[in-house]
Amino acid sequence: MLKNLYEILDISRPSPDISIDSAAIKRAYRKALLQHHPDKVVTGQESEITTTLASKKDVPTIDEITLAYQTLSDTKARLDYDRELLLLQETGITHDRTGNRGVGLEVTDLDDMNYDRMRALWTRACRCGTFDGFVVTEDDLQRAIERAGGGNSHEILVGCSGCSLSLKATTAASFNPTQIFGDDVTEEKGENARLSAFVGAIAVGDLVKSTLGPKGMDKILQSASSGDIMVTNDGATILKAIALDNAAAKVLVNISKVQDDEVGDGTTSVTVLAAELLREAEKLVERKIHPQTIIEGYRIASAAALSALEETAVDNSNDSAAFRKDLLAIARTTLSSKVLSQDRDYFAKLAVDAVLRLKGSTDLTSIQIIKKAGGKLNDSYLDDGFILDKRIGVNQPKRLENANILVANTAMDTDKIKIFGARVKVESTGKLAELEKAEREKMKAKVEKIKSHGINCFVNRQLIYNWPEQLFADAGIVSIEHADFDGIERLALVTGGEIASTFDHPEAVKLGHCDLIEEVIIGEDTLIRFSGVAAGQACTVVLRGATEQLLDEAERSLHDALAVLSQTVKEPRVTLGGGCAEMVMANAVSQAAQNVAGKKAIAVDSFAVALRQLPTILADNAGLDSSDLVARLREAIYKGMRTSGLDLLTPGGGIADMRDLGVIESYKLKKAVVSSASEAAELLLRVDNIIRSAPRKRERA
């Protein structure tokens, strides 16, 4: 409990801006010693003093009297003590006085705090992560004004609701908050806005960093409305599935999505690196380094890192055997952190075979993935044709060669008069039969128009109905109805056809072609296989697995591998994984920092610290001693062994040559991670104001 030093010396507490006469403090000190020191008590006064002391709850000791004198006789120490005493009186929060004075005390201007007009208070986030940790009410401001007694400035001391930190908010006597926004608008500005951005972004990075690397963990995502669950360790999938209220957190979600769209993998890495850059930036801001200085330092560091990364890149595209080996290694590295890691060799070969069929294209539309529950993951296979998840109709040929295919997305009965439920006045039932016969003849004429186009296969997104289906069967035409939209889109693409939206002029629609249409059985389901399609690169990956959740995650994992491989075929340079590339870049950035003057050098070096966090997290997620492993890796890179990385599969971990282990990653992926993370950190460092507003209400005419 904080002692009242003024009561110990029996002197009144003056205003903060008024100094105490040192002679008066010394007299009070001597008087207190004379009154309470046992050796100074006069015999005749002993009974009187004993009675006086007994009436007091706390009798000061000689040490407390000495501390009171030393504190109050020192102007700076007295001001610090006055703040602590005021904080204790107003909030009940105090600090340990055995250490340095003022520890945990932040100072800000009340105008820089977020003013909430609805609640009539000011708020500010705390470094501990509590969003509205510091709260100043208008009553607090009024008490500060009364306490100042008409002074030129006011001081308000408050404690954080989530930790032991305290805040001193200062304001001028003429302070009057001006509200320019509406009642439904809130504003954070200055350090409060920047701290809010840091806290939100770092929280997102901490959320997904446990999924990083070959030993990363999975997350279960459950929908609050439907109760559906998803098991995944894909960073982009996790971040897209959760609702976020923090603006900075949404920025990291967006860069993760862009990374997924552009490269296909590295979504967790880019999020974690951006969060670590902001974590280091927060430390620099606390050291009073301006955000613009940090941004300039980060730009220098990013350029040095990318230059070092480019120096390590290797291009084997001129040697087909070596390039295929690189592609297999990249696929294995990508799948090592996925649910397919146990069968990564099998699926790596499957993914490489599928991507090489694209012949340099990055469009994965020609590669279809079909999921069928049952069997094991290694029962999956690559089919050379296109598989449609439908069945051929009854009484229709189950095998068709040299197919001319009409693909449509329109109902067969768009011009039919709907008789069911309608009131029709006829003279006899024969008239009604004539009406239905006319409708059938109209449908038959439509079928004849379609048949005359020279087709022998008709695939429709919508229903065909029994009567026209029978007409097609009689003509030896395979008709497939109610195909899924994605299926007909892909079918039209791979067969080289167009999708008809009307049957008025079927001859104007380009037909698709394939060598063979046949039914195939996968597990317990019957599907339709189109072989020898016009787009020769088209193929289908059939995934087998025990559960729907496993198949969904397997599809996401395989898609990531396919995307990275397709980008590598376009940009064939590769680099090394296992933390090797990050440590090489960190080493280059640290060397660049030595050539930078001023505070920017600190920011450049902080970029290197953030890069070194990625191999540290890899080791932590594997349950290894990250401090020892990263230190050994850093030493190896410093000594010139630039192909060294973390061997996480060896018991206890180790440092090994990543080229020998086949831990290879795409150069484009690594470059995108560093560039995107650096740009996101720069974007959030520029923030000094966050304004939240409800959507504008539409005015009724």
Amino acid identity for residue 151 in this structure: G
Are the C-beta atoms of 670 and 273 separated by less than 8 Å?
A: no
Q: Is 267 labeled as catalytic in the residue annotation?
A: yes
Architecture of domain 386-537: 3-Layer(bba) Sandwich (3.50)
Band of residue 51 on the pLDDT scale cut at 50, 70, 90: very low
Helix H, strand E, coil C: the string for 233-265 is CCHHHHHHHCCCCCHHHHHHHHHHHHHHHHCCC
Q: Give 152 or 523, the one with higher predicted confidence.
A: 523
The active-site residue out of 265, 560, 605, 647 is 560
What single letter denotes the amino acid at residue 657? Answer: D
Query: Three-state DSSP class for 386?
Result: strand
Q: What's the whole-model pTM score? A: 0.69
Q: State which amino acid sits at residue 407.
A: V
**What integer is the mean pLDDT of 469-492?**
85
Q: 652 or 80, which is more confident?
A: 652
109: annotated active-site residue: no
Model pLDDT, residue 608 = 94
Per DSSP, 374 falls in state B
Which pLDDT score is estimated for 95?
45
Q: Distance between CA atoms of 340 and 405, rounded to whole angstroms?
A: 37
**Complete edge-to-edge strand list for the sheet that includes strand 121-124:** 114-116, 121-124, 134-137
Average pLDDT, integer, range 455-464: 87
For residues 37-63, give the mean pLDDT: 53
**What is the distance between the alpha carbons of residues 493 and 510, in angstroms, rounded to a whole number?**
11
Residues of the chain with CATH 1.10.287: 5-73
Q: Band the pLDDT of 118: cuts 50, 70, 90.
A: low
Q: Is the pLDDT of residue 612 over 90?
A: yes
pLDDT at position 176 is 54
Alpha-carbon separation of residue 199 from 117, 130, 238, 609, 689 (angstroms)? 24, 9, 19, 19, 15
Order the strands of the 573-576 sheet from edge to edge.
314-315, 573-576, 664-666
From 267, 334, 540, 568, active-site residue: 267
What tokens does 512 get?
């698709």
Q: Model confidence over 571-597: pLDDT tens digits? A: 899 999 999 999 999 999 999 999 988
pLDDT of residue 14: 67
CA 114/CA 690 separation, integer angstroms: 10
Instruction: Give the pLDDT of residue 247.
Output: 84
Name the CATH superfamily housing domain 317-384+542-571. Answer: TCP-1-like chaperonin intermediate domain (3.30.260.10)
Query: What is the rounded average pLDDT of the residues 642-650?
Result: 89
* pLDDT tens track for 93-111: 544 443 333 345 777 888 7
For the cut 50, the answer to whether the pLDDT of residue 45 exceeds it is no
Rounded mean pLDDT, 117-127 = 78
Q: CA 113, CA 136: separation in Å to the nearest integer?
A: 9
Per-residue pLDDT at 558: 92
pLDDT of residue 700: 64
Q: For residue 159, what pLDDT band results from cuts at 50, 70 and 90? A: confident
| Candidate list 123, 268, 271, 568, residue with the active-site label | 268
Kindly tell me if the per-residue pLDDT of 601 is higher than 90.
Answer: yes
pLDDT at 90: 54
Going by their DSSP bridges, the two strands 457-460 and 478-480 should be labelled as: parallel
pLDDT higher for 25 or 314? 314
For 364-383, give one letter per residue: b (16+ CB within 10 A) or e.
bebbbbbbbeeeebeebebb
Of 82, 132, 234, 326, which one is the catalytic site residue?
234
**What is the model's pLDDT at position 7?**
81
Which CATH number, 1.10.287, 1.10.10, 1.10.150, 1.10.3470, labels domain 5-73? 1.10.287
Q: Provide the percentage of residues in the chain whose pLDDT is more than 90.
A: 25
pLDDT of residue 57: 47
SS3 at position 493 = helix
pLDDT score, position 593: 92
Query: Which pLDDT belongs to residue 24?
Result: 81
499-500 and 399-408 beta bridge pairing = parallel
The model's confidence at residue 92, banded by pLDDT at 50, 70 and 90, is low
What confidence category does residue 270 fall into, taking pLDDT thresholds of 50, 70 and 90?
Answer: very high
Q: Do 630 and 619 touch, CB atoms closer than 8 A?
A: yes
Which residue(s) pair with 545 in the sheet? 373, 374
Per-residue pLDDT at 19: 60
- Give Cα 674 distance to the centre of its chain: 15
- C-alpha pair distances (Å), 485 with each of 489, 499, 552: 6, 11, 19
Reply yes or no on whether 112 is catalytic.
Answer: no
Most confidently predicted of 52-56, 112-116, 339-343: 339-343
Listed in order, the ranges of the chain carrying CATH 3.30.260.10 are: 317-384+542-571
Cα–Cα distance, 280 to 627 (Å, whole number): 18
Give the pLDDT score at 604: 94
Give the DSSP H/E element, type plus range, for residue 90: helix 75-91
pLDDT average, residue stretch 371-389: 88
- 102: its two tokens: 């003022």
Among 568, 549, 544, 540, CA closest to 266: 568
Query: Does 302 score more than 60 pLDDT?
Result: yes
Confidence band (pLDDT; 50, 70, 90) for 54?
very low
CA terminus-to-terminus distance, the chain: 65
pLDDT in tens, 385-425: 888 888 887 778 888 899 899 898 887 766 565 555 666 67
Among 165-179, 312-326, 399-413, name the one with the lowest average pLDDT: 165-179
CATH number for the region 196-314+576-685 comes to: 1.10.560.10
Q: Does 268 qualify as catalytic in the annotation?
A: yes
Please tell me the predicted confidence (pLDDT) of residue 104: 55
> Is pLDDT at 16 greater than 60 in this prediction?
no
What pLDDT is attached to residue 280? 94
Res 515 pLDDT > 80: yes
Residues of the chain with CATH 3.10.660.10: 105-195
Domain 105-195 is found in CATH 3.10.660.10: yes
Q: Name the average pLDDT for the chain.
A: 82
